[in-house]
Structure 1
Amino acid sequence: NLAYEIVEFEKVIESQYITRSMSNRADELAIQAKELSLKNVRISKLSNLSLQLYSLFLKEGYVKDDAGLKRVTAYFERKLPKYKFSELGFREKLFLYQAYLWHSFILQDFVLSYRYSQKWVDLFEENPEMKIQNPVFYLKGVNYLLESLYLIKHKTKYNKVLENLTADIKDENITMNENTKTLAFLYFNQNKLNYYFLEGRFTEGLSFVTTLLNKIPKYENNIDAHHIMVFYYKIACMYFGAGKNEECIFYLEKIIDNKELKMREDLLCFSRVLNLVAHYDAGLDDNIDKLIVSTYQFLIKMNDLHQVQRKMIQFLKNLKNIYPQELHKAFIALHSELLKYENHPYEKRAFLYLDILSWLESKIQHVSVEEIIRQKAGKLVK
């Protein structure tokens, strides 16, 4: 970097003088050059680790079993360079927090994700000039802080951070160019959708979805297919929560029918599971057996057929054999069966994408999914 190059250049100049008065300065320069060289190596290792973990998360999502946990943890520990925190500069801390954030995300330790995303954002608050110099990293940090808060369901903090992001964008507290405008659009709208989910306000969120769908074409040339499909999945969830199953299916099919799509495998899998549930709720069960088989085969192919998905698919497959008067008991039985996986270290990931427990509770209590989730939202951290 520039500091290292300056010191090296000064060393060249100093080397042309051999007076005794210059000896101390030469020693100082040698030490500075060594320290800066070590710093550059550390920055490189930390940024590489962060990038590789991010790539892993995009491809595979959360860890699925003990083997995955051990593999990711061993990789993280092996690649994490040794450091003294007191010696770290801004960039080193930034990449360190990023690496820990991605590690915790992959392991589904969302409290730890919150901690490191908060450290990431705090780093910029402590160095406000960096919001101007590195607006992309700042926006990303805020986005991951919001995502972490959403996953631990801390409503008050979530709403405050979202308000701050909105103000930063509106007041242009960060450098605004084509890239940052696109990121601001992406992060604000993704997190606004999550806001409606967190509050259980799906019907109200439909007007926001309409506005969003009108805006996406303006940005789609600057947003990769993965993030467009994430929008579609969230939009499908909004329609599902509002009881609009056919609209939900419409957006899920945009994901399912895209054979060239490169996006997180777990999102591809849960798009198909939600598609099954939406077909059932919409009464579109003429081809549901075919859908069940194709979904089952896809999950096996993706190595993502875990107990929650397996039991859910089996339940839907057996529905045609259940008498109407027995259906209520069947919903209760499945709910009891799945409830034990809610806090399972690996099975719980299913509930991050599809709140199947709330869906079952809506069937058991004969109320809408939206009503169930709104009741739960009222009990969250205020």
Structure 2
Amino acid sequence: MPISHGDQLFNLIRSLSKAEKRTFKLYTKRLNKDSDPKFIQLFDILDKQKNYQEELIYKRFHQLSKVQLSNLKRHLYTQILISLRLIHINKNIDIQIREQIDFARILYGKGLYLQSLKLLDRIKTTAETTHQDFLLIEIFEFQKLIESRHITRSRKIKNKMETLIDESELRAEVALNTARLTNLKLKIHGLYIQRGHIRDEKDRADLEKYFKHELKSIQTDQLTFFEKIYYYQTHVWYYYILLDFVRCYVNAARWVEQFELDQDMKTKDPDLYMRGLHYELTTLFNLQCYADFKDILETFEQFEAQHGQDFNTTSEVICFLYLYTAKLNDHFIRGTFGEGIKEVRTIMEKLEMYDPHLDQHQILVFYYKIAWLYFGNGDYSKSLDYLNRIIYLDVGHLREDIQIYSRLLSLIVHYELKNYQFLEYQIPAVLRFMSKLEDQNVLQKETLSLLNRLLYKPNEEVLIEIRKFYQKVDKLSHNVEDQKSFVYLDIITWLESKMQEKNLQDVIRQKFNSRQSQKIESLIASL
């Protein structure tokens, strides 16, 4: 196994739960009843370290060379994974099926061909009911290998061989179609990472042409469980890039519906189910369909309450990211920033807990949302604390949009704090920063221009300037290509709070009360 770096082994050991460490010790003691081999001693040394320190290993093993240590670490890494496999085999159906395939190969190697075929027949049913399409291909190919090399009783059964051949061909077609779907999904997702949402009609036309061309090679009739989900996933990303949130929601809902039709798959693949819920929630948030949003959020919370204790680390992280993003969005929709702030402590604790498993993008998003919570609640100093975490974080070109919005929101906060002298030199600095990045839009430039003008307006003209700017950005908010900007920087509501001389929370609550009746069904019907 190509693992020789100590930090990789160290991170694996650090990720183990108490139960997993206990299982590892029991597993190794069973293998080494009368000795305490070096790899177990190495495990104990690394388990006690807070940070990886290789020099402490050499102090313990004086005669160990670098090559020997590398081999020892590789062996320990393998033994830990074997012990983990013993635990996780009951939680992962694909591991269970692979084990049975391995057993079938062992039986075949022992010359027990009929027993091997019988075992393959049994696990084939399990693979079919759990939609393990690629493992089914392996099972069929192994069955064909046995049938072609040995005389078995199968040929005495009418149409047995014909059925095997037909099933094998069908699964090969499914595998090819699945590969094409996942390839397209990755391509569309890659386009979003590279370019973000469409910026103009040319972007729209180019994407539509590309997507239609790619779909031509994909079979869409009689799809399997995962084929359907990959098909809907691809369309979710496609419509998300197009900023067509209604159609995006429709495909996310169809994705989730597959799990409602096959309830067992919720626990077999909770990550995929939770991702579907996340995209439903994200689109409903963008569409401000609160009643529907709340229903899905409650479904998510119930699922976590019922099955969270069985989640592996990856599922825990996914659940945290998506569930708490939705909880914060819930407060943004209703304008209940004070209530939302109560979630911050838990979020920060979980960010620290899951830090090894998170990327900077995910952390940036949470910092920005928390900054908005404090801004909406009128706690400007706290808002600046979280905005500065983004501004002073060295992340290169990662999430340029959030980097720009963070700086713009920071300027607005300083304006609220009447730090006008600070703004005089900070506005040009933000302008220089924006000029270096590709991801800028009209709203960002106009907001920066407004703040610059407000600095030099007498008090009696400030409101006039705000009203003029409000009329301009209100028109922008009706352009599909500019709508996404207002999700990140709700400048319209801030302007309304100034014009109405109310705090931000009150304006949002007023808007919320007036649109509570908006339902996703009516938006779908209007397509």
What is the correspondence of 1:56-135 to structure 2 with a 5 Å cutoff? 56-80=191-215, 82-135=217-270
CA contact (8 A) 1:14 1:22 kept: no
**1:326: which partner in 2?**
461
For the pair 1:227 / 2:392, whether they are aligned, the reply is no
Structure 1 stretch 153-162 or stretch 285-294: which is displaced more? 285-294
Aligned to 1:218: 353
Structure 1 residues 121 and 238: CA distance shift in structure 2, 3 A: same
2: distance between equivalents of 1:77 and 1:328? 49
2-structure distance, mates of 1:221, 1:272: 27
Task: For 2:291, give the aligned amino acid.
Answer: T
The TM-score normalised by the length of structure 2 is: 0.68
Separation in structure 2 between the aligned mates of residue 289 and residue 341 of structure 1, nearest angstrom: 27
1:359 aligns with 2:521: no
Could you say if the C-alpha distance between residues 27 and 256 of structure 1 is closer, same or farther in structure 2, counting changes exceeding 3 Å? same
1:298 partner amino acid = F
Corresponding residue for 1:317? 452
1:355 is displaced (CA, Å) by: 0.8
1:225–1:261 Cα contact (<8 Å) kept = no
TM superposition shift of 1:258: 1.3
> Which one of 337, 341, 344 corresponds to residue 209 of structure 1?
344
1:81: Cα distance to partner?
Answer: 5.1
Shift of 1:25: 4.9
Residue 14 of structure 1: CA displacement? 4.3
1:205 maps to a residue whose letter is G
Partner AA of 1:330 in structure 2: E
Over 3 Å counting, the alpha-carbon distance change for 1:91 and 1:329 in structure 2 is same
Kept after mapping to 2: 8 A contact 1:296/1:305: no
Aligned to 1:178: 313
Q: How does 1:1-382 map to 2 (within 5 A)?
A: 1-15=134-148, 25-80=160-215, 82-172=217-307, 175-260=310-395, 263-382=398-517
My pick for the range that moved more, 294-303 or 307-316, is 294-303
Q: Distance in 2 between matches of 1:174 and 1:4?
A: 33
- SS at the partner of 2:515? coil
Question: How far, CA to CA, are the matches of 1:228 and 1:252 in structure 2?
Answer: 12
Cα deviation for residue 22 of structure 1 reads 8.4
SS in 2 for 1:172: helix
1:221 and 1:76 mapped to 2: Cα distance? 36
Identity %: 30
Distance 1:166 1:233 in 2: 23
What value does the CA root-mean-square deviation take over the aligned residues?
2.4
Structure 1 residues 274 and 46: alpha-carbon distance in aligned structure 2, compared to 1, 3 A threshold: same
Q: Deviations over 1:203-227 (max 9, x none)?
A: 2222222342244322222222211
Partner of 2:65: none
**C-alpha distance in structure 2 between counterparts of 1:174 and 1:119, whole Å:** 27
SS in 1 for 2:300: helix
1:84, 1:331 → 2: CA distance?
A: 54
Compared with structure 1, are the counterparts of its residues 64 and 298 closer, same or farther at alpha carbon in structure 2 (3 Å cutoff)?
A: farther
- Identify if the C-alpha distance between structure 1 residues 266 and 143 changes in structure 2 by more than 3 Å, giving closer, same or farther: same
SS across alignment from 1:346: helix
Structure 1 residue runs without a partner (length 5+):
none
Going from structure 1 to structure 2, the CA distance change for 1:368 and 1:219 (only over 3 Å counts) comes to same
Q: Is the 8 A contact 1:273 1:309 kept in 2?
A: yes
Looking at structure 2, the residues matched to 81 and 99 of structure 1 have their Cα atoms a distance apart, in angstroms, of 14
Aligned counterparts of 2:148 and 2:292: Cα–Cα separation in 1? 56
SS at match of 1:343: coil
Corresponding letter in the other structure for 2:225: F
Largest Rg, 1 or 2:
2
Q: 1:30 to 1:310 in 2, by over 3 A?
A: same
Q: Are 2:284 and 2:290, in contact at CA under 8 Å, matched by a contact in 1? A: yes
CA distance in 1, matches of 2:174, 2:201: 35
In 1, Cα distance between the equivalents of 2:307 and 2:157? 49
**Are the counterparts in 2 of residues 61 and 264 from structure 1 also a CA contact under 8 Å?**
no
Please state how far the C-alpha of 1:320 moved relative to its aligned partner: 2.4
Asked if 2 retains the 8 angstrom alpha-carbon contact of 1:225 and 1:262, the reply is no
> Is the 8 Å Cα contact of residues 497 and 507 (structure 2) preserved in structure 1?
yes
Cα drift, residue 363 of structure 1: 0.7
Aligned residues between the structures: 382
Q: Could you tell me how far apart the structure 1 residues matched to 2:360 and 2:397 are?
A: 8
- Whole-angstrom distance in 2 between the partners of 1:271 and 1:143: 24
The alignment partner of 1:340 has SS state of helix
Structure 2 unmatched ranges of 5 or more:
1-133, 518-527
Pick closer, same or farther for the CA change 1:337–1:103 going to 2, 3 Å: same
